[in-house]
Amino acid sequence: MIILVNKGGVDHELVIGAEKEIIAHAKEMANPNTKGHHHTNEISAKPGQQAELVWTFKKPRQYVMACFEPGHYEAGMKGVINIVAQKH
Ligand SMILES: [Cu+2]
């Protein structure tokens, strides 16, 4: 489980997935013709609040978590999660 704690003064979100996919989704959401919709791979928190996301990493690969509030991703609000296969 991932807990997003917003200690800042503006809204933030956390979207998780393969980088290409979440960037494509961010562009889609930035289009004013797109009706708001919610995905299971994203949570958001207002200032002083927190949100929880339960996420299962299905395969070993690199995932990215990022915030797509306007300008945030561009400002570097992202992190990389490397999932590696378990060795037996
Ligand atoms: Cu943000």
pTM comes to 0.84
Each domain of the chain, given as residue ranges in start order, spans 2-82
Q: How far is the centre of ligand 1, averaged over its atoms, from the C-alpha of 78 (Å)?
A: 9
Class of domain 2-82 as given by CATH = mainly beta
The pLDDT value recorded for residue 38 is 67
The pLDDT value recorded for residue 71 is 93
The upper half-sphere exposure of residue 33, i.e. CA atoms within 13 Å in the direction of its Cβ, equals: 0
The pLDDT value recorded for residue 77 is 96
| Chain segment 42-85, per-residue pLDDT in tens | 999 999 999 999 999 988 999 999 999 999 999 999 999 999 99
Q: How far is the centre of ligand 1, averaged over its atoms, from the C-alpha of 79 (Å)?
A: 12
| Chain segment 22-40, per-residue pLDDT in tens | 998 888 877 888 776 667 8
